[in-house]
Structure 1
Amino acid sequence: MLTLKPLGERGQDAATIHGTQKPVACMRRPIENSSSAGQAVYEPFCGSGTTLIAAEMTGRACHALELDPAYVDVAVQRWQAFTGQQAVLEGDGRIFAEIAPARQLGAGVAV
């Protein structure tokens, strides 16, 4: 027997720049089923940050990797919009808003 549960409204998932962006509920369910609040989850293909948002919603830390700098920026922006917090560049303490213009110009600033 196959049971399908509706994912509900798309909300912040409606607009996307990533070709395979998933609804947050798609990642929230496996996170809740395979970890406990306070634990960490790993996302080797972060894309637009869906797993980051799902982890935040469920009280988990998310350790994520993404090779494409443009998608890193999308993920950071989605995380900031969801949490209301500022992403901080580890190492020198600059916030994302300070380095985003240089990243968009291709200056090679890594986040």
Structure 2
Amino acid sequence: MARIFQQDNFEEEVLKSDIPVLVDFYAEWCGPCKMLGPVIEDLAVEYEGKVKIGKVNIDLAEELAMRYQVQSVPTLILFKNGQVVKRLSGALPKARLISEFSLA
């Protein structure tokens, strides 16, 4: 299951993680975000222990959305060693996410 990241746990869970972290910045009111939700959940199960996968609700964590310049949702950002290494926006198919973020 995808983790929930918020302002109070983001540094520990994402920036200080020993493994890569894929973060889905989303909003409850966003149609494409709802379409992407099940894909994110599938990836979280498939890559457990290899890649930490979680979500940030931009309406509840506005500071994080601003810090990472999230201008549209969904936006997915891959972090490694506390650094942003890749970002994509839009509801993309699972196969493309695996390919784009080199999860395979």
User: Same fold by TM-score, threshold 0.5 exceeded?
Assistant: no
Q: Which gives a bigger RCO, structure 1 or 2 (Cα 8 Å, sep 6+)? A: 2
Length-normalised TM-score, structure 1: 0.29
Query: Quick check: which one's helix share is greater?
Result: 1
Larger radius of gyration: 1
Higher strand share: 2
- For normalisation by structure 2, the TM-score amounts to 0.30
